[in-house]
Amino acid sequence: MKTALLLAAVGGLLGGLALYFSGRPDLASTVWLVGVLPVLGALLVEILRSLWCGEIGLDIVAALSMSAALLFGETLAAAVVALMYSGGTFLESFAEGRARREMRDLLARVPRTATRHQNGSLEEVPLDDIMPGDRLLIRQGDVVPVDGTVASASAFLDTSALTGESLPIRAQNGGDAMSGSTNAGEAFDLVATRPAKDSTYAGIVRLVEEAQRSKAPMSRLADRWSLGFLLVTVAIAFAAWWFTGDPIRAVAVLVVATPCPLILAVPVALVAGLSRAAHFGVLIKGAGPLEAMARTQTLILDKTGTLTDGRPQIVTIDSHDGTDPDEVLRLAAGLDQATKHPVAQAIVAAARERGLSLPVPTNVAEAPGEGLTGQVDARSVVVGGHGFVTGRVGEAAVEHPALAAGSVLVAVGVDGRLAGHLVMADPLREGTHDMLARLRRQGIGRILLATGDRQEVAERVTEGLGLNGIRAGLTPDQKVLLVLTERKRGPVMMVGDGVNDAPALAAADVGVAMGARGAAASAEAADVVLLVDRVDRLAPGIEIARGARRIALESVVAGIGLSVMGMVAAALGYLTPVQGALIQEAIDVAVILNALRALRISPAETWSPRSTATGHQPTLLQGNQT
């Protein structure tokens, strides 16, 4: 429709000009009129539709200027305004399409089918038919259709479309593969862990669609400003006519004010900001959250899974009988394959990251909450709490140096003797200090920790971060109360990853969820989802949000200022209607091009992956300490 109106306006203007210069001004005026009428008719329909919805916009000025120009015989000016209006709306659509490119790329990559292993053969099945436990073949170049675990020796995955990571990552056997990533290596098998509709990529697509339908408070404010600008425009036009008796001056004033940059700059700049943030793995659910993100003054951070990785990591491996530390880890991990306990799974992951070969355990017996016993490589192995292991191997309890708050001690017994200890902790994420310093430079005045963990654990983990406050031992409703209290100081951003964080995320001005591994409830309640499991993506996200909002305001102020100057000049008789239309068109183009600068916002310190050899998450294992 917009293309057809633009073609009608262009054809009418050029056809009329050709007739005018060939000595047929009367016929030229008729052709200009024919080119204007479709645009004016479509515009009137749009105005009526808006009024029916209770909205008043600056399209009314465009309709007034075209109608007034036709009424007073300025058909050329009306034709230029018609071209200007249709061209402006077409340019706005093009600019928004350009701004949504990153989001559109995400949507375009949704696979429709998958290749499933079935009874010794391969079959192509619709995505909705895939169920947890299905074994899929992911060919080279295929997009991973559902969340799953790698069932082959390894997989080489390109996650750049989701997270902005420029280099592919290698996922080992048993490692997670996120739907939406692309197989950049040889074909591999994947065991589905979720149906397609519940997978990461399906959730991202839903969030993108919600974001595309959203409207920012700033855009709604621009609509309200439109009414004021409309009154100012009509007042200047009426005054010019009243004091000079020349209606053409009033026409020129209306033409210069059409259409206003106010209705073009804000949506283009904010949508460009959404698109740019998505490129860096920060999915913002709409222009409203983006604007709120730009105004954030207080940041509240959850601890486990946000400031920390959320999964225990081995800090040291202590050997007591001369056994090699890697052997202590290998035997413990071999036995721990038989349980789903989070600490046991962390030990298994650490062993695999070191490239240790894990044999299949036998004769396994588990004492829930205490530990495991079993055979590994024909050796009797016991893994668990210190008291549990020393009791099983028949040794007196050996004193171990005092542990830091929040650390966990795992004992390992081999063939009737205490072989060693694994000291585990949930450490602070790497780069947290730099991220918080960068956020303060961006204007975040208060940074608080909100955690359900003990006070001493929270203080140990955050030591040296310079937080403005630590609130420990909080229940979910107490986190909500903290958010509501801090909102009295200014806009609040809350970051979390668990189900218990969802109420606080919903209560904050901006809720941010760790989407890569976070709970679905927190992702649904949040306004922003970090697609890569790194809280330091907050810094570029906020920088982009503030940059997009600043560009939108710059465009509005500059555009409105130039339009008002043009209206004054037209009222004083310095601009004809045709000249005013050409000047306003130049202003509109400049405003839209300026708004598109949001697509080129480059965060000062762009993150890059530190390691691509062992998988998505960097290892924090610091073993071989005896």
List residues with catalytic annotation: 302
**Which residues, in sequence order, are bridge partners of residue 125?**
114
Q: For residues 507-537, b (16+ Cβ closer than 10 Å) or e, as one string?
A: bbbbbbbbbbbbbebbbebbbbbbbbbbbbb
Q: How far is CA 309 from CA 194, 221, 260, 313, 618, in A?
A: 23, 40, 49, 9, 10
> Tokens 């995320």 belong to which residue?
505
Say how far apart CA 335 and CA 389 lie, in whole Å: 13
Residue 368 is encoded by which pair of tokens? 């829930």
Q: Is 288 exposed, middle or buried (0-12, 13-18, 19+ CB in 10 A)?
A: buried
- Reduced to 3 states, what is the DSSP secondary structure of residue 580? helix
Other beta carbons within 10 angstroms of residue 78's beta carbon come to 33
Residue 609 is encoded by which pair of tokens? 């992956």
- Strands (E) across 129-236 are located at 135-138, 148-150, 154-158, 169-172, 176-177, 182-183, 188-192
Say how far apart CA 383 and CA 389 lie, in whole Å: 6
Pairing of strands 176-177, 169-172: unpaired
Residue 307 and residue 428 in contact, taking contact as beta carbons nearer than 8 Å: yes
Residue 444 and residue 427 in contact, taking contact as beta carbons nearer than 8 Å: no
